[in-house]
Structure 1
Amino acid sequence: MSAVILDGKALAKSREQQLQAAVRNLQDSGGLQPVLATILVGDDPSSATYVQMKINACGRVGMGSRCINLPATTTTEELLTTIDQLNQDSDVCGILLQHPVPEHIDERLCFDAIAIDKDVDGVTTQGFGLMAMGEQAFGSATPAGIMTLLKHYDIQLSGKHAVVLGRSAILGKPMAAMLLNANATVTICHSRTENLAELVAQADIVVGAVGKPELIKAAWIKDGAVVVDAGYHAGGVGDIEKTGLEKRVAALTPVPGGVGPMTINALISQTLQSAEQKGILKASLAG
């Protein structure tokens, strides 16, 4: 068996061409230019790199971007004021608060302050609740990107047993909800899960989202499984050990070049959707 490589980099590039055309059509029809506002608090170099990658993606598809850099000393109240200003700005279609923020800031409070129609990164409690209930909402960007990748490669989800390792509010939990909504049977594992290797061995689909390099061992994963690695660590390794997997599993994501590009692509795509919705609202008000 030779695994299908779930190439997120190639898919994101292809989808960017479609997004570029859609942005142009939106503006040609009198709609808004989609503008993504990014908020970076502090001077963490990794976070700065991620923000720049998102700004670059906006530029490639013809979207506008606005980057707000705030010092590490910013308070929760000051950050909330910035978010409120962006909520009120009719030119801004999407708001991204780069995670993580400094420890003294109440990140959840700030996430939830983002207007639901501008929550293109899918981080608000309201957005998660709507998505989990199968209602219209922007999904958390990384899980949404993974779902797009799986759909593109015709990975069967209905009836399959998916094991998600990780329970963060912006990755593990929404990933599990999206898989459940796609009719998979879902097991969520975390730091206190017992018999972890045995649970992973039962999985038709394994999603690594623990944030620890190669915590999930290749030997745990059964032949023919689909392996999705949402981690990225120094040295180009993910959350899942890949030794020998290409010859045993049905499909797997590379690290890098798998999930990461699709995360950014989902964010950009949802910003476009927000702009399209605003364009429809603008037209109806004018009428």
Structure 2
Amino acid sequence: MSRVLECSTLVSVILTKVKKGLKKNTPFLAIITFNDSKYCKLLIDKCLELDIHFKHYNLYNPNTRDVTSLIDKLNKDDEITGILLVEPLPKNIDKYACYDAININKDIDGVNPINQYYLSINRPNIVNSTVLAVIKILESYNISLSGKNVTIIGRSYNISRPLASYLINSDATVSMCHSKTRDLVSLLKNSDIVISVTGVNNLFKSSDLKDGCIVIDVGLGDVLIDSDNISYTPKTKGVGPLSIACLLENLVTSCKKLK
């Protein structure tokens, strides 16, 4: 029988921890966006709810130099304790130059290559919030990673690759699939855990999976539930709100590091 991996309780637990951290720390978040963003609105609403200080920079038609100059200014601003670049960046922007520009201790979403490297050698500094959300879901349901076959669908720099590093460090056997992968269904059939990070609606079906498979749907709609043999995260009140909670937890952590 299918089981929904409910995340709301976990969100509450993490936000309670964040509130406790705010009693001893005063973080200040800089949010950089390039267009209207539902994610940004949800994040700002949560900052207002928790009385977290923030500045929102919505850049119109910038070039790479504009963005890196702003990041450099924020790095030097002692009041700012966290910097977030909200994806997607405009196509004319060299996003990797922007990632590289962020102070590693203000990089609250773990996009700087140095933070990614630290994670790859199992010495994490700051880890991407969505990666943390996935791991916390598995931990909260006592789902062991050691020896498990885990398939990640999607090969994004921000999420899929650091997620693979985290899983490998936890002794999982990891396969990373993408648009050029041949015979995805065969890989899925052999997977104990599937983590989909594509945002492609109904990319695969639960009937493609073996009985007892765990599905973490980061893309929010990647899996079509057409059988009752798996455990899965919901489309709403799932990974998304948990990622925001983990991001704010990272913000408090960054504030502590910068003291």
**Fold in common (TM above 0.5):** yes
1:199 and 2:175 equivalent? Answer: no
1:242 and 2:211 equivalent? Answer: no
Matched-pair contact (CA < 8 Å) for 2:14–2:246? no
The CA deviation at 1:112 is 1.3
Q: Deviation digits for residues 111-156 of structure 1, max 9, x if unmatched?
A: 1111101111111111111111101321112111111121112111
AA aligned to 2:121 is: M
Q: Distance in 1 between matches of 2:87 and 2:172?
A: 29
Q: Distance in 2 between matches of 1:23 and 1:127?
A: 24
The CA deviation at 1:77 is 0.6
AA aligned to 1:156 is: S
1:158 and 2:158 equivalent? Answer: no
Map 1:62-77 → 2, pairs under 5 A: 62-71=51-60, 73-77=61-65
The CA deviation at 1:261 is 1.1
Q: Distance in 2 between matches of 1:242 and 1:91?
A: 47
1:261 and 2:250 equivalent? Answer: no
Q: Distance in 1 between matches of 2:17 and 2:160?
A: 29
1:61 and 2:50 equivalent? Answer: yes
The total of aligned residue pairs comes to 259
Classify the secondary structure of the residue corresponding to 1:56: helix
Q: Distance in 1 between matches of 2:117 and 2:58?
A: 30
Matched-pair contact (CA < 8 Å) for 1:132–1:178? yes
Q: Distance in 2 between matches of 1:9 and 1:204?
A: 24
The CA deviation at 1:273 is 0.4
AA aligned to 1:6 is: L
The CA deviation at 1:76 is 0.8
Aligned residue in 2 for 1:116: 104
Q: Unaligned 5+ residue runs, structure 2?
A: none
- Give the alignment partner of residue 214 of structure 2, picking from 226, 247, 252: 226
Name the structure with the higher helix share: 1
Taking only the aligned residue pairs, the percentage that are identical comes to 33
Q: Distance in 1 between matches of 2:141 and 2:109?
A: 23
Q: Distance in 2 between matches of 1:216 and 1:168?
A: 19
Classify the secondary structure of the residue corresponding to 1:261: helix
Aligned residue in 1 for 2:28: 35
Largest Rg, 1 or 2: 1
The CA deviation at 1:278 is 2.0
- Give the alignment partner of residue 72 of structure 2, picking from 80, 84, 89: 84
Matched-pair contact (CA < 8 Å) for 1:207–1:228? yes
Aligned residue in 1 for 2:250: 270
The CA deviation at 1:93 is 1.0
Q: Unaligned 5+ residue runs, structure 1?
A: 28-32, 233-237, 280-287
